[in-house]
Amino acid sequence: MTGKMNPVSVDIIGDIALVTIANPPVNALSQTVRAGLLDTIENIDKNRSILAAVLICDGRTFIAGADITEFDKPSIEPHLPDLIDRLECSTKPWVAAIHGNALGGGLEVALGCHYRIADFSSKLGFPEVKLGLIPGAGGTVRLPRIVDSVNAVSLVAGGKPIKAQLAAEWGLVDLLVEDNLKRDALNFAQQIASLPLPEPASKRPLINKLTADDWEAVLSPVSNKAHGQIAPVRAAETIRNAVEKPADEAFAAERNLFSELKNSDQSRALRYLFFAEKSASKISGSSSVDFMPVELVGVIGGGTMGTGIVTALLLSNHSVIMIERDETALEKGKATVLSYLQNSLKRGLINAAKHARLITSLTGSIKYKALANADLVIEAVYEDMDMKLDVFSKLDTVMKPDAILATNTSYLDVKRIAASTKIPARVVGLHFFSPAHIMKLLEIIRTDSVTAEVLSSCFLFAKRLGKIAIPAGVCEGFIGNRIMSAYRRECEYMLEDGALPQEIDDAMVAFGFPMGIFAMQDLAGLDIAWAMRKRQAATRNSNTRYVAIADRLCEMGRFGRKTGSGWYRYDNTTDTVVEKIILQESALKGIQRKSISAEEIIERILNTMRNEGSKILAEKIANRSEDIDVVMVNGYGFPRWRGGPMFTGKNLIP
């Protein structure tokens, strides 16, 4: 049962078989794992001296899912549903010993076992909907026979793993252990070995049945949150199907739907994005480059961006020094960070001990010399070049020579900032997205002079932060903001050409965006972009079409939600001001307005995104079209299940 190339090994300990899967890095259920496990089940059943089996995994995790690379290849036996059926029908009790993550097919294997134990730090879940799929190896049938149907819907349609303690409360885990999972699993197996063999999960009675009204209350929120994605809705419906139909029919229906979804455009897009994100942060040749350790980090600025960055740093176990212009601003910034940490504690993202430790990891000063020992400093002051140059001139005088100097600028020239310093080779752009402690995207802006060591260190730093890091060259707006600026202009052109803000926003929401461009501007505040436009006015090309509608709104004090009105009013009163301004601007330019359909609105937006993306690639600002898609999905709300504007242009018809 053992072999050098076999990822499944067996050790006989007394009368218990310890079955170990070793398929790094995440013990995915590849064909070799499935075949090895099936042979092991057969052999254990034949061995009369074995009374029970423990299934455990090497490395940092239990089985974290299927091998996604096999999805687009011809299926090779043994198929996972058949393997789990065989496991469930074993004549010996099987105990799944879970650490790390039991996800997707991994959790389905655990459900095929007769018992499940887990350490307190483990997580269990069905994330298939994130790939446009549902569980396809009996998960939707076995789960509601082990946990409450409402909880089953939550786990499968939500796609978010749950902690082991909650899994135990639901009945998904039979025993929680703290110290030695292998030892405790073997002891547990010894205890249950002499007991009658439990009923397989697929043959157990349902935990509960819901009424039609109950199902409506469960399914409606799933549909509302899906924003056009099919899989969450179908996943929830499949749970209902598994509850209301015999198990055999439910198994067949689940498998058919899994195959249907696997071949869908949405699943292809989501799988494409999964691999795009996985490879995004890899730099060619980086394995041969030295890394600079980053432990103590300074952040200049305690505003919205600065406090978000500080919080992200603390949550990733960095020590942080916040610098502000005066004590009042510093105390305000620190108070904001503490409120964010308190919220993380309330949400259960950190425990009380970590919360207390993180508070002590934050210090502040109004003097730059406090940064003398920092490994990295991130400038996050107002988006003004003169102000940023002043900050970097001060950093030049106090920072140690091997420290990394980073700017969080969203648009400005990082090359100019680097050139103003004594050591431009250590200057880089780290463009966080707000709120920085929540948003996962980070653009790493490379200049011509920055060293490979600095870049590699920044990517390693981003990984520790839990960010998806995308490399970008220097241009106004880099990747994301440059594309957003381009399609925002196109949306403004459509206002003059015949559309209204609500029509454009409605079309975008129907396409899958969480909100439209004008609602988003109201949320962010119109005054910020207005200030930038005023700074650019002197150098603006007079031959370029310029839409002044937003300027006129700002001149009226309509800065968005924070002032009660912007593109929209937020006091439930009727407002015709914006429409009148739009009509006036169209008339001033002699534009004959015409109706623009939702389909044309989306086509113009997508074409603009793709065209700007193509320019970005041609100019080598982005390395790959996949990087552009990752940026637009993770930073700008492009619907994930469409894969991104570059993918959509090549593969799907919107």
Which residue, 229, 234, 380, 415, is CA-closest to 305? 380
How crowded is residue 139: how many other Cβ atoms within 10 Å of its Cβ? 31
Q: Report how far apart, in Å, the C-alpha atoms of 354 and of each of 91, 294, 350 are.
A: 46, 20, 6
Which residue, 138, 101, 140, 143, is CA-closest to 118? 101
Instruction: Please list the active-site residues.
Output: 108, 128
Three-state DSSP string of 368-385: HHHHCCCCEEEECCCCCH
Q: Distance between CA atoms of 6 and 4, rounded to whole angstroms?
A: 6
Q: Distance between CA atoms of 461 and 296, rounded to whole angstroms?
A: 12
CA angle (604 as vertex; 598, 606 as ends), nearest 5? 100
Q: Are 18 and 57 in contact (CB under 8 A)?
A: no
Which residue, 467, 305, 321, 446, is CA-closest to 382? 305
Phi-psi region of 599 (alpha: psi -120 to 50; beta: other; left: phi over 0): alpha
Q: Which long-range contacts (CB under 8 A, 24 or more apart) does 350-358 make?
A: 350/315, 358/314, 358/315
Residues 6+ apart with CB under 8 A from 565: 558, 571, 575
Order of strands, sheet of 123-125, starting from the edge strand that comes earlier in the sequence: 101-103, 123-125, 162-163
Residues 6+ apart with CB under 8 A from 136: 80, 81, 128, 254, 255, 258, 259, 262
Q: Are 473 and 445 in contact (CB under 8 A)?
A: yes
Q: Kindly state the DSSP code that residue 79 receives in the 8-state scheme.
A: P
Which residue, 87, 207, 194, is CA-closest to 148? 207
Q: Distance between CA atoms of 547 and 519, rounded to whole angstroms?
A: 18
Q: Distance between CA atoms of 359 and 266, rounded to whole angstroms?
A: 43
Residues 6+ apart with CB under 8 A from 310: 299, 302, 320, 322, 333, 337, 362
Structure tokens at 233: 């809705």
Structure tokens at 95: 């105990």
